[in-house]
Amino acid sequence: MKAVEAFARRHRLQWWEALPWLAGIAVFFAFPNHLGFATKVVITILFALSLDLVLGYAGIVTLGHAAFFGAGAYTVGILAQHFNWAEPVSGLAAAALVAGAVGLASGFVVLRTHGLTLLMLTLCTMTLLEQAANMGAEWTGGFDGMPGLAFEKILGLFAFDVLYSRSQYLYSLAWLLGAFALVRTLVYSSFGQSLTGIRENVRRMHAVGAPVRARLILVYAISAALAGLAGGLWAQTTGYVNLAVLGLERAAGILIILILGGYGRLYGAMIGAIAYMVLEDQLAKAYPTTWQLGIGITLVIVALYVPNGILGLAETLRRRIAGKRARG
């Protein structure tokens, strides 16, 4: 009965779930000179969270999630530069809508496959968008991108802070909180349960009559919209958009971050983004030419010894200690 009770309660908020947000606010006061970097971390967490929804919960292995990040970023950029639509909140809504639509359309097409084929199809979708952004220079700025984007005050109150990124940080943190609440509600809903079922045993889900394809397409679109939100935030907080938002490097990077933190665990996105970006930042500062070696070795070690990521490792340790206590 204990397991059933734990399962029935697992969606309830625990006291420690407030800690990340308190830490987020503490960062604002403790590191006033590093808020530009912290903003990037927050946005990356949001991006990783969107990937966790499809990869960790629905089990869709994709190498092209940056497509939606890029779609969001370019939406915000194009609206600001060509249509004078510089109001940030509605700009983000547009970014999420466009990215969600791209996700819906591409999900409809590619989600009939799996394994290597699916990996390649997501990758090709992303590179197609990348090439399109490269070719449509009139709209996207092509290879040079769109530098120097300016946006209006957030809610008409807080101007984007070029020097210290203070308003950018809180603005991004607020969006992350909203997105996190949405994702958390989703994964513990019956919809989220059916996604986990599809990940674990597709045949059985078909057999019980679950609309597998419709569910997968829907979660893909939701995740794409969240990734688009992250991309739009990236464009607004940095003030530029270029091809790097769409590339394989970003797609692979976010995958690495999520696996490092632990996928299918909600908080893996947070832990992974913080661990990876701080490590990369420190290594790049200390060894400007050789930092990639450190990242590479870390990834190899994680893959070999910590396949479930940092959170998976913590869980194993906790169980082992609890088991020793029960026996001893």
Residues that bind other proteins (CB under 8 A): 55, 61, 63, 109-110, 112-113, 115-117, 119-121, 123-125, 127-128, 131-132, 134-135, 248-249, 252, 255-256, 259-260, 263, 289-293, 295-300, 302-304, 307
Please, where are the H alpha helices in 53-114?
Answer: 66-82, 88-110
Distance between CA atoms of residues 301 and 166, nearest Å: 36
Query: Shortest Cβ distance from residue 284 to other proteins (Å)?
Result: 12
Structural contact between residues 230 and 72, judged by C-beta atoms closer than 8 angstroms? yes
Which is nearer to other proteins, 218 or 248 (by Cβ)?
Answer: 248
Please count the residues of the chain.
328
> Least distance in Å: CB of 54 to other proteins?
12
- Least distance (Å) from other proteins to the CB of residue 122? 10
Q: Cβ closer to other proteins: 181 or 286?
A: 286
Least Å distance, CB 61 to other proteins, is: 6
Phi/psi class of residue 190: alpha, beta or left (left: φ > 0; alpha: ψ in -120 to 50)? alpha
Backbone angles phi, psi at 303, to 5 degrees: -60, -40
Question: Which residue, 140 or 172, has its beta carbon nearer to other proteins?
Answer: 140
CB of 211 to other proteins, least distance (A): 21
When the beta carbons of 182 and 275 are compared against other proteins, the nearer one is 275
Half-sphere exposure of 307 toward its Cβ, with a 13 Å CA cutoff? Answer: 1
Smallest separation, CB 18 to other proteins (Å): 30
Amino acid code (one letter) for 44 = T
- Report the C-alpha gap between 264 and 277 in whole angstroms: 20
**Are the CB atoms for 198 and 210 separated by under 8 Å?**
yes
Q: How far is CA 229 from the centre of its chain?
A: 10
Distances (CA, A) of 328 to 80, 277, 315, 321, 323: 64, 40, 20, 10, 8
Query: 97 or 123, CB closer to other proteins?
Result: 123
Our CB check for other proteins shows the closer of 109 and 278 to be 109
